[in-house]
Structure 1
Amino acid sequence: MNLKQLARMLDLSQTTVSRALNGYPEVSEETRRRVSDAARQHGYRPNPSARRLATGKAGMIGYVMPTGASVDIDPHFVEFLSGLGDYVRAHELDLVLSPAEADDEETTYRRIVANKLVDALYISAPRHADSRIALVQDLGIPYIVHGRSEGLDFDYPFLDIDNEAAFHDATRLMVQLGHKRVALLNGEEAQTFAICRERGVRRALEASGLVLPPAMLRSVAMTEENGYRATRSLLMQSEAPTAIVCSSLIMALGVVRAARDLGRSIPRDLSLIAHDDVFPWLKPENFSVPLTTTRSSIRAAGQRIAERLAARIAGQEAGALGEVWPVDLIVRSSIAGAPA
């Protein structure tokens, strides 16, 4: 079915149908839903070239994906991408992944914007004073950042979770249970989320007259193997931690394995709280000892960012709107009072 046939069937003009499918704000929500339902029912998909000529829009959201030998596939990113894909698939949009060398992403950003390949971009894993955000701001294309970057001299649109509050609350609970040697197993130190999580841990410890010494901090890429190695190094110290706050459920797999190999029982010898991004294939309640977690759905974040990008493409959202989600603390069996 082509656009003309779809419009005739709905007794609408081709212009109205085209505008409904492309999210123009002057089309009523009832008409937009009616057109979308009919297009889905009859298998209609707008021709990308025709849509670009008619509307000036590509109907695509873009992401510059760093590649190279130093880049690992991150399960957190895959889960986020699934959420984003859920939304764009249901709203007649497409997602374009543009690979780029990890140390030369700027060239790819400039190319896809200059060639008008996408209508909007999202940026993930922001770093301090992230130059990608400054570049995209200057290029003038709609965008949203997943996370936040500190050190920029302008405001920008973002969606983030309250990392500092989440790890403050997790650490405070450990302190309330009597733990004085609390370690942080964190993500890479250049990432803003890791900076905020460390800040939350330090703030909770300082409120009780405690500190986070260098020997109790590990900042690594969030893999199971890194979690294992970092935990072994922590537990083999003469003043080993009695509690660990961990930045990833995937790293927590390594924590559990290291504790078992060293004969440490969770939670009798070691209490553990991990951040849980709600993976459908890795559930904290199914660990050998159900894990206490700070919980937020990264898949839901992907859906929300896609929704906001679609609104920005349609002119329904503008400006430097920041959105911060609270994080739940789910208490399970992996924590206990500090060992005597």
Structure 2
Amino acid sequence: MNLRELAAHLGLSQTTVSRALNGYPDVAEATRRQVMDAARQFNYRPNPAARRLATGRAGTVAILFPVERNLLVDPHFFELLAGLADMIARTEMELSLRATPPDQELDNYRRLVNAGRVDGFVLSSPTLQDPRIPELAALGAPFVVHGRTEVALPYAYLDIDNEDAFARATALLLDLGHVDIALLNGDPALGFAVDRERGFRAALAERGLAPFEGRVRNAPMTEETGYRSARALLERPERPTAILASSVLLALGVYRAARDLGLAIGRDVSVIAHDDALPYLKAETFDPPLATTLSPIRHAGYRLGEMLIDRIAGVDPQNLQEILTCDLVFRASVAPLRGEDGPRRGPTSAASRSRTKDDPRSSDRRPAR
């Protein structure tokens, strides 16, 4: 079936069908789904050469990752990639995944843009002053960022409200009587880790508190680093009574360390972790079930794909800036602080309740873009 026959079958113009297949945002979502469903039903595949001539596009979007980080074994990155690939496949475009040496990364972006081989990029794990953003902006290349930075340029991004999520999680622990709380966080050069620590400290400061010495630890978010960090904290005579972890993988290490030290999660130490909804590591299957701040990363990948298609079609990047709110899921890994006479509760506060978008503590404190 060719384009003319597909358009006749649907009762639509060839222009509408072509624009739907190529991801133009002026096509209604219901029409786009109708066209995509029919294309799959009749195994329609547009001629790549004809598409490039008609649209002036390469028909490819790309995500580059540094070789030394080996993100292909990072389950968070893999889930993001799965959502992105799902969405891009629906547009009949191609997703290119490219490893790059760190000293050649910007050169590789320039080469791909100047050669016209890529229509747009997804940037993951942005640093606070990420050099990719001004470089791609100067090249005029469409891109979207998974996360936010302090770069003072308008750019499209999708992020979660990391600061608010960890402020709420910390406030919950404080309301349960915990004041000695540890934070196991990610790389401090990355925006999400900065925001999570900011939320953690803000919730403590609201009660006139600060983290105990040595309670904030930054490391790669793996089970092993979670184990080593938690073990070092929990084997001390004065150990923290609660731990906040920036990933379920870190929490898995915390559980293992507690078990090895003869401590019970939820009784001797409370644990909350951020959950990206990794399909093979479900927080509810932990023993005991793990309390989390929840935001599925696969959904984020899918949404980033949609935003990139819009960006390629010319949508202003300032109209493509989204911050998602995390759910706070209470489970048995969290309990009131135990005193000599059993559990006791600390003071309650409005800080533990969900904050609205008007609350300045949950707003984006970076420079306006």
| 1:114 and 2:114 aligned | yes
Give the corresponding residue for 1:18.
18
Question: Which structure 1 segments of 5+ residues have no match?
Answer: none
**How far did residue 33 of structure 1 move?**
4.6
Deviation at 1:65, TM superposition (A): 1.9
Distance in 1, Cα, partners of 2:171 & 2:39: 53
CA distance in 2, matches of 1:25, 1:240: 54
Q: Which residue of 1 aligns with 2:220?
A: 221
* Secondary structure in 1 matching 2:273: strand
Read off the aligned partner of 1:318 and give its amino acid letter. D
Q: 2:66: which partner in 1?
A: 66
**CA offsets, 1:220-268, max 9 Å, x none?**
1001111101101111223211100000001111000000001111111
Q: Which amino acid aligns with 1:79?
A: E
Alpha-carbon separation, structure 1, partners of 2:195 and 2:24: 38
Instruction: Give the Cα–Cα distance (whole angstroms) in 2 for the partners of residues 220 and 295 of structure 1.
Output: 21
3-state DSSP of counterpart to 1:45: coil
Query: Quick one: structure 1 residues 213 and 48, their matched pair in 2 at CA, closer, same or farther if it must change by over 3 Å?
Result: farther
Q: Is the alpha carbon distance of 1:137 and 1:336 closer, same or farther for their aligned partners in structure 2, counting shifts above 3 Å?
A: same
* TM-superposition CA deviations, 1:251-310 (whole Å, max 9, x none): 111000000001111111100001111122111111110111001111111111111111
Q: 1:242 touches 1:339 (CA, 8 Å); kept in 2? A: no
Q: Label 1:331 to 1:34 Cα distance change in 2 as closer, same or farther (>3 A).
A: closer
1:297: which partner in 2?
A: 296
TM-score by length of 1: 0.93
What are the within-5 Å matches in structure 2 for residues 129-278 of structure 1?
129-150=129-150, 152-278=151-277
Cα distance between partner residues in 1 of 2:83 and 2:37: 21
Residues 139-190 of structure 1, C-alpha deviations (whole Å, 9 max, x = no match): 111111100112x222321110000000001111111111121000001111
TM-score by length of 2: 0.86
CA displacement 1:183-229 (0-9 Å, x = unmatched): 00001111110000001110111111221144101101001111101
The alpha-carbon distance between structure 1 residues 80 and 30, as it changes in their structure 2 partners (threshold 3 A), is closer
Q: Does 1:313 align with 2:312?
A: yes
Q: Which residue in 2 is equivalent to 1:101?
A: 101
Q: Is the 8 A contact 2:230 2:254 kept in 1?
A: yes
Q: 1:86 is matched with which residue?
A: 86
Shift of 1:69: 6.8
Cα displacement string for residues 34-65 of structure 1 (whole angstroms, at most 9, x for unaligned residues): 54333211111123222111210222221112
- Report how far residue 2 of structure 1 moved: 3.8
Name the SS for the 1:96 alignment partner.
strand
Go from structure 1 to structure 2 and tell me whether the alpha carbon gap of 1:322 and 1:25 turns closer, same or farther (over 3 Å shift): closer
Unaligned runs of 5+ in 2: 340-369
Q: Name the SS of the counterpart of 2:208 in structure 1.
A: coil
Contact 1:98-1:108 at 8 Å conserved across structures: no
CA positional deviation for 1:339: 2.7
Q: Distance in 2 between matches of 1:112 and 1:214?
A: 47
Equivalent AA in structure 1 for residue 328 of structure 2: L
Q: Structure 1 residues 169-178 or 64-73, which shifts more?
A: 64-73
- Letter aligned with residue 310 of structure 2: A
Structure 1 CA distance, aligned partners of 2:258 and 2:124?
Answer: 32
- Aligned residue for 2:53? 53
Shift of 1:135: 0.9
State how far apart, in whole Å, the 2-side matches of 1:29 and 1:241 are. 51
- When residues 99 and 253 of structure 1 are mapped into structure 2, their CA distance, relative to the original with a 3 A threshold, is same
Q: CA deviation at 1:4?
A: 5.1
Q: Does the C-alpha gap of structure 1 residues 29 and 284 become closer, same or farther in structure 2, counting only changes over 3 Å? A: closer
